[in-house]
Amino acid sequence: MINLLTQENIGYNINTSRLFDERKDGENMKEESKLNIEFQDVSMDRMFEQYEQKFKALADKKRLQIMNLLTKNGSMCVCDLSPLIDMAQSKLSYHLKILLDANLIKKETKGTWSYYELNQEELNHLLSHELCCIFKPTHC
């Protein structure tokens, strides 16, 4: 099986099989190639994987608390978040990295400090109206 990807992110799984036709008179076998093209939308698989990563990031109480603090206070650095959430900076950085990898927060570096804020555009795609009220109280 051969997997190809087009510009439209549609995957093609190509099954190749060889058919042999043996003649009765004992002559050489004739070989024919047959291509069977099956279409599979690979972009959907990627999209599901991205959503899975995002929902796994959201499935943690501490990360939800971090996101709620960012909602209330806006852009914050780890040094300001740490005392509010009662967590060591190293552990907080671990949780921020998970949220950042899931594209749920944004990071801006100013000098030696990194500031984090919610990625509102991404959250708009994920959250129901009820949950949006938790992270976007001005929109309720």
Query: CA-CA distance, 140 to 135, in Å (whole number)?
Result: 10
pTM to 2 decimal places: 0.62
Query: CA-CA distance, 116 to 92, in Å (whole number)?
Result: 12
Q: Which CATH number fits domain 49-139: 3.40.50.720, 3.40.50.1820, 1.10.10.10, 3.90.480.20?
A: 1.10.10.10
Handedness of CA 64, 66, 69, 70 (dihedral sign): negative
Q: What is the pLDDT of residues 72-116, one digit of tens each?
A: 999 999 999 999 998 998 999 999 999 999 999 999 999 999 999
Query: CA-CA distance, 21 to 36, in Å (whole number)?
Result: 19
Q: What is the pLDDT of residues 112-140, one digit of tens each?
A: 999 999 999 898 878 666 556 666 667 66
Cβ-based neighbours of 18, under 8 Å, separated by 6 or more? 31, 32, 33, 34
Domain boundaries, the chain: 2-40, 49-139
Q: Torsions phi, psi of 90, nearest 5? A: -65, -40
Does the pLDDT of residue 36 top 50, yes or no?
A: yes
AA letter at 5: L
Confidence of residue 71 (pLDDT cuts 50, 70, 90): very high
Computed on alpha carbons and rounded to an integer, the radius of gyration of the chain in Å comes to 26
